Amino acid sequence: MIQQIGQIGVPVKDVKRATLFYRERLGLQQLFETENMAFFECEGIRIMLTLPENEAFDHPGSVIYFNVPDIEEAYQQFEDKGVSFLDQPHVVAKMEQTETWMTFFNDTEGNTHALMSEVRV
């Protein structure tokens, strides 16, 4: 049975360019890199940036949803670092005591990811 995410693979076209984006703009901790891959730590989940091994892996990547405690603050900090957002932070779901907020952005390789925050109301 699945208990947690262990690693997320993100296909890239340029490992060095993508590594700078994830390390410098998003502020993720880089674990190590090889010629074709770079690995980052994000609160117990490893993110692997990788050149596609073959055509079967050469496709747009998965969306990574990064949890942040304050989405407005995170949005401003990442925007100040040059992250290109596709939208403003907005509510995507309302529950009884919480709202789920998201905003989407592209990395340097054309992958779309998101910041998300659970806000108590």
pLDDT, one tens digit per residue, over 15-65 is: 999 999 999 999 999 999 988 999 999 999 999 998 877 776 666 677 898
84-107 average pLDDT score: 92
Query: Residue 45: what pLDDT?
Result: 92
For residue 3, pLDDT over 70 is answered with no
Three-state secondary structure string covering the chain: CCCCCCEEEEECCCHHHHHHHHHHHCCCEEEEECCCEEEEEECCEEEEEECCCCHHHCCCCCCCEEECCCHHHHHHHHHHCCCEECCCCEEEEECCCEEEEEEEEECCCCCEEEEEEEEEC
User: Would you say 27 and 41 are in contact if contact means Cβ atoms under 8 Å apart?
Assistant: no
Query: Residue 112: what pLDDT?
Result: 87
Query: Residue 5: what pLDDT?
Result: 79
Write down the pTM of the prediction.
0.74
Lookup: tokens for 81: 């670092």
CA 40 to chain centre: 11
Band the pLDDT of 10: cuts 50, 70, 90: very high
7-120 adopts what CATH topology?
2,3-Dihydroxybiphenyl 1,2-Dioxygenase; domain 1 (3.10.180)
